[in-house]
Structure formats: C-alpha cells, structure tokens
Structure 1
Amino acid sequence: MSPADVADIELVDVTKRYGDHLVVDQISLNVPKGEFVSILGPSGCGKTTTLNMVAGFHSPSSGRIRIRGRDQAGVPPEKRNIGLVFQNYALFPHMTVAENVAFGLKMKGTSKSETEIGVRRALKSVHLEGYEARYPKELSGGQQQRTALARAIAPQPSVLLLDEPLSNLDLKLRESMRVELKEIQQQLGMTFVYVTHDQEEAMAMSDRVVVMSGGVVAQAGPPVDIYQNPASSFVADFIGKSNLLPVERAEFVDGDSRLILRNGLSLIGHKAPGMDLDQIRLCCIRPENVQLAVPGEASANRLSGRIDKMVNLGAHVDLWIEVSPDVVLKALVAVRRLQGLEVGSQVDVRIEPSAIQPLSN
C-alpha cells in the first residue's frame, strides 16, 4: 500500500467501556485524506467519546486506532499530529491573537522566524489579518472561533478534530461560519472530523456523515444519500423532518410495492433493494414530497384530507393534513401555493412513488 492509499484516520472495531457501561460498541471507520467527516448523533450516543479516543484523551477498551497508518496505542495526544478545536475555544485571555496562534508552534520548538510565518499563514487562512494585537475579550464570538481554528491549524497537523465548535454562536453566525469552515477545509486540503448533534451543520459541510445511536454507527454515507435513503426510522427521524407511517402489509404491483397502511389507505412505493416485502414495517416520506395536487392531475398516490394545522415559516408553510382519523401527513409547501387555504380546508395531496422509502425498523 502506497502512502497515498493510507487513510488519515482508521478505527477498527473500537469499543469503549466505563465499568459495565458500554459507550462505544465496535466502531469501524476509515477517513481518507482531505475528507470532511461529521460524526452526528444525539447526546449520549458516543460521538464525543469516539473523538476523544482519536485525540488520545481516552484509550479504547478494545480495537485499534491508526493515524496515517500508525497505530496510536500508547501515543499521547501531543505526539499524534492532530489539531483540536473545542466548543469553548479555550483561548488564553492574557495572550493576544498572535500569541494564542503561536502557542502550538512554540510547544513544538519552532524557531521564531518560522513561528511568525506560521502565524501569518494561519491568520490569513481564517481571514483574521490585522487582528494580531487584539485580545480575546476584544473579539466577537465568530472571531474567537476563527482564532481557535487558526491556533489549531498553525502547526500544520495532518488531521483536525472539532467538537461542536459552533454551538456557542447565535443562529446567523453559525450559518455563516458553516460556509467559512467548509471553505477553509477545502483551501487547506486538510482532513476534518467534526462532532455535532446538529443535523443541518453536518448536512451543510460534510463530504460524509456518520450517524451514531447507542454507541454504534446507524448509517454512514454522503449527506444526500442518508437523507434520501435512510437505513432506519431512527436515521429518518434524526436527519431532517419525516413522515414515518406504519405499514400493516406490503405486496407487489407491476414491479413496485403496494404498502397497505391503516384504515385501508395504500401507497405505491419503489421496491427497496435487498428488502423482502415481509420485512417492511414502516415507510418514510419527506414533507417536501407531500405536494398539493392540481385538480384533474393523475397520480399513483393521491390522497384527500383536511388541513389540521399550519405554521408559517416565511417562504414556506408547514401543513399537517389529516388523510384518515389516525394518519396525519406533514407537508412543506411554498406560500404561493396556498391560494387561500386555511385550517379546516379540504385538500388533495400527491406523493411520487420514488419519494416513498420502505423501512424494516
């Protein structure tokens, strides 16, 4: 195997226990050089513990962790050639921006001239030129976050680990920093492993998302694949909004699957590869795929219902449409499509078969 083929990070059957409590259960993961990977999941799923094991703050109970092909057993954090960015930034308040950024370089024994070059390079990459003499208290939240990022990348680590670094920022700043972080990562060509519980962050920035639940990987893949083809009801519910409908039975109809729901409702959906009809227990439909039907428009899946609730989101409206006494569909509809509809209005909706994802659990 050539050096170019070696993954920047490799986890092989990594498990972490604290006494009888199993936190991470036999996780295996390969992160190629230059990839932006997000580890996503709810609190307590094991994502931060996984990151801490890669960083060297905790040792796995079993399994192997390799960085650039080198086994990390017994290697302390400062010897792993990784950068770290935390939720609270951990900037030194008595140091200027330049001194904060220079800290890691000095710890490596870098010469004064090389340290100055490294600081300038790092600050330029995060768009903080001219802020060298300021102290953390003189910076905005976004500037503090970029300073912490510059400090982490100044020593030119092979991998950067980020633990919910945007969670302390307000919504608009978080959204702008998502774009900046991705641009910085692409500019540097550096491997980023990003831990978050925010699915929008993970979807917006990542080349690949690793969804964790209960200490295991529930699904991993490109964001669009996970969104469009969730592997389970947990993933479907955690990644974006979804209608999860129980399926009483399923049958073949002209190569597609007919899903029989409650109260005699049925939907035509595509056949999931590798899934037998008797395995289907649920189906997932994203709200944006529940569309208001035009009168006279033919559709494989056309349902009549009544608007039960409306929430205005500005350009779009969330609708809750009762299509049977115990089946309510959530729909995301552009305001311009409402045309005078209100709570209590009768509407028809249509759902394309390709938008109906059968699930086994």
Structure 2
Amino acid sequence: MTTIDIELLSVSKQFGSSHIVDDISLAIPKGKFVSILGPSGCGKTTTLNMIAGFEAPSSGLIRIRGRDQTGVPPEARKIGLVFQNYALFPHMTVAQNVGFGLRMQGRRREDIAEGVSRALKSVHLEGFEDRYPKALSGGQQQRVAVARAIAPSPSVLLLDEPLSNLDLKLRETMRVELKEIQEDLGMTFVYVTHDQEEAMAMSDRIIVMQGGVVAQEGSPADIYGRPRTSFVADFIGKSNILPISAVAEPDRSLRVYVGAAKVAMKAVAVNNLAPENARFCCIRPEAVRLADAAGALDEPVNRMTGTVQKVVNLGAYLEAWMLIDGDIILKSMIRSTRIDKLTAGCRVELAVAHSAVQLLEQ
C-alpha cells in the first residue's frame, strides 16, 4: 500500500502566456498535515485547485492514492474541501449542512445520521445539530465546515486559507484545534496559507512557493533553521539577511566578510552550499545576543561591538537595531529584562554563534 496520498509530477498551469505554476513535483505523505505557503500570486491556490479538480493542469500528472486524476471530476476524487468563506448553507441547520455530502451520495437516513454524529464529535460540536449558521461564532462555523468536509470519510482534506476571516485570538485557538482534529482522524490535510505562523504551528511539512515554483520543502524546523535562499529566510520569520563574500578556512570552517568594512565572521554552510556559491548570509534576530548573556552557549561565537540605534518593547522581548562598523544593521531579539542595557546610542558587546551565521545561495 502506498504511503503517498498525493503526487504532482512535473505539473504546470498556464493562463494565456502567464505561467502560474511552473513544472512542480510534490509527494504528500499519507496522514500528514502539509502546508503550501507563499505570498499572493505564488501559485499555491492554483495548485490546490488542480489537486481538487477545479483546474486542469496544462501539463504534467496528478495522482491521488496512486491513481491518475486526468479527466476525473472533483466529485469523483473522494476528497474533502474547506473554503475561505466556509460556504455553509444559511437555511440549513448544522446537522443538515454536515449531512449534505452524504445525502448527495444517496446514503440511507441511518447512515447519514451516524456520519453527522461522528463528524460533529470529531470537531467537538455535539449538541449543535439544530442550530443555524447565523447563531454560531466564526470558529464554530469553521468547525462545521470541517465536519461537513470529513463526514463522507475522505482520505484527503484540502483547506484554502480557512482561518483568514477570523480575528487573531480565534485564529490562534483554531490552529491548535485543527491540528488536533487532523491527528485524531489520521487524515491527510493539505492547507494553503500565506501566514507563516499558521504553517509553522500546524504542519508536519511545509512547501514554500515563489513565482510558481517550489522554493523549498521540508519540516518546519528545516525551513526555519536551514533556509536555502534569502526569499525563504525572509518569508519565514524575521531575519538579518546580509550580502557577503565567503571563503573556506584551512580547518574546514567558513569565514564570511560582511559590509564595506569587511567584518569577518565564522559561519556554517547549509545544505552543503559551497562558499563560492554563497551570496548572502542569514542570522536570526534571536541569535544576536548581548555578550555577557552568551557565556552559557556550548559553541564558539563571533564577538563584535555595536551601537544601539533603536529599541522597540514587544513585552517579553525587546527588538533592537544594532549598527556594526558603520554600515551593518543587525536586528536582535533580547529578553525585556535587559532593557537597562539597551538605550539608543549606547555601545554594546554582541555575540553570534558560528552556527547561527548560515550561508544562502541567492
């Protein structure tokens, strides 16, 4: 039995002369939460629509559970769909909405009632059967939409930015609930979003798209900790992205030179990138520490002196801009207990671990 639920093999989509999706290949494992992440216009929703069957690829092949989907209409693909606006029927009760797909399949009344009950239990909405959508909160409506999608027991659920209409607090709550639902069901979720925090919080695997192609694919830890390009490093979290020249040292370590003053730092290569191919380095703000707080690090560090340019209090953390050697700005995230050490104009000693200076190819 295959462990891959969805395969895209050299799939492209053109609208006129525009290449919206350009020769992408993906393998989405069974039972995993996979997010397709990227900015508006990157091709992520078009990719989802091709998997769903709403759009036909201009070229390439899509397989679901090992079967070629060429010419297979959406209703025959046995997948669940959750849309951005939920698309609930306002004149139907929760039970009627959830049972809609089962009725369309011609199921018996007893089977429909059992399927509705099972789906509502999965999303923690038992007792809501007789309510109408207008009587529900945004989060409850979202869960009804998920229940309707899973009631016919699909093996794959496709979700197109389903949290984008919710306020911040509710989005954060629903991230946890969606992941719990996915784990309880053991179902493959393919989730499209432009929100990197959503993708990081819920996903087993993230596919980052840029300009119709896959920029990087991997676990959340890989994508955040080992970005391959400046686009991925900048899109996933906050980053210091600096142009560099890099050379290999005799001891096999790497040295990078940053800025007009050619500030030297030791670094590490990510994804076996050769120094001569490195164009930038990425340093995450949380890796820029005050030197007197870096003593606990069990690895070698780069040490430098900077001048504080600006400090923003974010509650638990301070976001500080440090000027190094006249033309290098390093953003730092430092615990707010150090606010006495960080005032505009003061000089500070900084430490950045060698492993936190990561080379990027573009």
**Alignment equivalent of 1:277, drawn from 268, 275, 278:** 275
Deviates more, 1:300-309 or 1:199-208: 300-309
CA contact (8 A) 1:257 1:271 kept: yes
Segments of 4+ moved more than 6 angstroms: none
1:308 aligned partner: 309
1:7 is displaced (CA, Å) by: 1.6
1:51 is displaced (CA, Å) by: 0.1
Q: How does 1:34-113 map to 2 (within 5 A)?
A: 34-113=31-110
CA contact (8 A) 1:255 1:271 kept: no
**Alignment equivalent of 2:262, drawn from 261, 264, 272:** 264
CA contact (8 A) 1:250 1:280 kept: no
**Alignment equivalent of 1:235, drawn from 225, 232, 237:** 232
1:251 is displaced (CA, Å) by: 3.6
CA spacing shift, 1:152–1:295, aligned 2, 3 Å: closer
**What secondary structure, in the 3-state scheme, does the structure 1 residue paired with 2:237 have?**
coil
1:155 aligned partner: 152
Distance 1:211 1:296 in 2: 33
Distance 1:146 1:322 in 2: 48
TM-score for both structures, normalised by structure 1: 0.97
1:7 matched to 2:7? The reply is no
CA contact (8 A) 1:101 1:150 kept: yes
CA spacing shift, 1:120–1:295, aligned 2, 3 Å: closer
**What secondary structure, in the 3-state scheme, does the structure 1 residue paired with 2:124 have?**
coil
1:20 aligned partner: 17
CA spacing shift, 1:229–1:131, aligned 2, 3 Å: same
**Alignment equivalent of 2:221, drawn from 215, 220, 224:** 224
1:346 aligned partner: 347
**Alignment equivalent of 1:144, drawn from 133, 141, 144:** 141
CA contact (8 A) 2:228 2:270 kept: no
TM-score for both structures, normalised by structure 2: 0.96
Distance 1:357 1:151 in 2: 45
1:273 is displaced (CA, Å) by: 4.9
**Which AA in structure 1 matches 2:319?**
D
Number of aligned positions between the proteins: 358
Distance 2:293 2:79 in 1: 59
Distance 1:295 1:182 in 2: 36
Q: Cα deviation per residue 1:283-312 (whole Å; 9 max; x = unaligned)? A: 000000001111996964111111111111
**Alignment equivalent of 1:130, drawn from 127, 134, 137:** 127
Distance 1:124 1:326 in 2: 58
Q: Cα deviation per residue 1:237-277 (whole Å; 9 max; x = unaligned)? A: 00110000110343415221110112121110124453222
**What secondary structure, in the 3-state scheme, does the structure 1 residue paired with 2:249 have?**
strand
Distance 1:257 1:6 in 2: 40
Q: Unaligned regions of 5+ residues in structure 1, if any?
A: none
CA contact (8 A) 2:142 2:162 kept: yes
Distance 1:108 1:221 in 2: 37
| Percent sequence identity over aligned pairs | 61
**Which AA in structure 2 matches 1:24?**
V
